[in-house]
Amino acid sequence: MYFQIALSILILYAQAKEENDLHVVFDKNSKQFFDKNEISMIFFYTPQCGHCERFQPEVEKAAKQLKEEGFVFAKVDGHNHKDIAKQFEVNGFPSVILSQEHGKKYKKFEGPRTSDSVIMWMYEQLNPGTKELTTIQQIRDQISSSQLMFLYMAENQEDRGYKRYKDYSHAYGNLEFYHTFIENVQQELGFGPTDSLVAYKKYDKSPVVYQPKQIKVADLKAFIETNWFQRLQEYNEDVAKKIFKQDRSTLILLVDETQMKDRNAHDALKSISLDHPHEDHLLFIKCSVTNQLFPELQKQIGDFTGTPALFGLQKYGVYKYKFNSAFTKQNIDQFILDFKNGKAQKHYKSQKLDNPNYSQHVEILTGNSYQKVINSPEDWVIFYYNSYDSEHLSLLPEFAEIAKLITQISKVKFAVADVTQNEFSDFSDPTDIYKIRLYKGNKNYAKFIQKVNKIQRERLISFIKEHSNYEFHDDSKGGHHDDL
């Protein structure tokens, strides 16, 4: 017991605690800290250093902002933990270090000791920032190939607005920033003589122009973050992450671009997306059947009948809604309104299973055929299973044998439902253990209760006889019903 207490104290001691958003790193926890954090900022100080004391509030301010953006800032007492200082070749204090690759690579900050300077310096090291375009043709080619890009048009490198834009471009590693110093470029591209910054989005009607005459950091940040996604986007890995990992509500259009009706549906959704406010963060996505990610997306949505097909996705893609009307602006607007209010028609994933029907006495259900079964006036015994669980799969033949026996003496029907490949409207139970229900018409059902992944044959047969509306003829001639 004393050993466990001592071990717990040691573990707690070794963990990097936080002080004013700065992780406290020392000799005993440094390996754990750097193993955990691929990228981090480190503030080296000594207790008796006046310069360190004056710089620390700015460091804490930077740490707080970077924490909100997912970065880690730490502090190390370089006087009492000399080995860590030596590891990063720190000889003077205060020092700020950018650690990369879990401490294997590092760079030392040099610049004004302010929070803004520290943050911008870090972004400059991590992201390349804006790139220069030197000809009108280069600009046009880039506009044509980019999904989204920002372009700053300046007279020269001394332009104050350009300097702010250049600094800020380092803060967004996943966006495209460009600049040009071409004379009269605004006129060539169709802008006013005072226009300097524009955002080009592939599917938008026209570029978005930054309106203020002077570029201020707060306004620049607001402009970039308001326009950093176009209204109708192509489906890609970043979009998939937003939908299925970050819980972004999404309208997704599946199309075959060789078909005129699909192109018309695309144009209708594009037009609506442009009129839709950015503030609600609703994603408008298009995915072509030729997109290499289409097969994976189809697994998430399930089978559907032809293109164009429009779906609404919510709650990490768990809740799905299907658009079932003609592709007109009025119909799509109504679908969006119903989708936002939770009134749209739900769609359940329905996959055609590759495995053949292993028994003529058992039907294999999909999300679509399931509805007909549970609404049927007939008695159905349904076996719900996880097709990734070997224990569940091993029970299917035994369930089929029971189905064969029961169907010989009654009208009860049997089915299996794979909950990993399909979604079923009234089923949301955990499937660590298989589930069995007996439906008795009009969605009324009884649950077969069991606590292990094993079919207790006699119990299950008794359960079916007890709850079914049908009669059982156990006294049939022949000896093949002895198991009953």
Domain 232-340 falls in which CATH fold?
Glutaredoxin (3.40.30)
pLDDT in tens, 178-230: 999 999 999 999 998 888 999 998 766 688 898 777 777 778 877 887 777 66
Segment 318-332 shows an average pLDDT of 86
Highest CATH level, class, for 131-226: alpha beta
Strands 73-77 and 95-100: unpaired
Q: What is the CATH number of domain 362-467?
A: 3.40.30.10
Comparing 142 with 238, the larger pLDDT belongs to 142
Handedness of CA 448, 471, 358, 442 (dihedral sign): negative
User: What gap in Å lies between CA 193 and CA 371, rounded to an integer?
Assistant: 63
**How big is the chain, counted in residues?**
484
**Which amino acid makes up residue 250?**
T
pLDDT at 8: 42
In the structure encoding, which two tokens stand for residue 236, read together?
Answer: 């890609």
Q: What is the pLDDT of residue 358?
A: 56
CA atoms within 13 A on the CB side of 206: 5
Higher pLDDT, 421 or 52: 52
Residue 149 belongs to what H/E stretch? Answer: strand 148-153
pLDDT given for residue 352 in this prediction: 63
Cβ of 329: how many Cβ atoms within 10 Å? Answer: 12
Q: Which two tokens stand for residue 89?
A: 């070749």
pLDDT above 70 as % of the chain? 89
Question: In angstroms, rounded to a whole number, what is the distance separating the alpha carbons of residues 244 and 300?
Answer: 9
Sign of the alpha-carbon dihedral angle for 386, 392, 397, 401: negative
Rounded Cα distance, 348 and 425, in Å: 7
- CA 204 remoteness from chain centre: 24
Whether pTM > 0.75 for this model: the answer is no
Q: Are 313 and 249 in contact (CB under 8 A)?
A: yes
Whether omega before 94 lies within 30 degrees of 0, making that bond cis, reads yes
Domains of the chain by residue range:
16-113, 131-226, 232-340, 362-467
Phi–psi pair at 43, nearest 5 degrees:
-105, 115
CA distances from 480 to 405, 460, 464, 466 (A): 9, 18, 19, 22
- CATH says 16-113 is which class? alpha beta
Tell me whether domains 131-226 and 232-340 share a fold.
yes
Question: Average per-residue pLDDT in the chain?
Answer: 84
- The DSSP H or E segment spanning 297 is helix 294-301
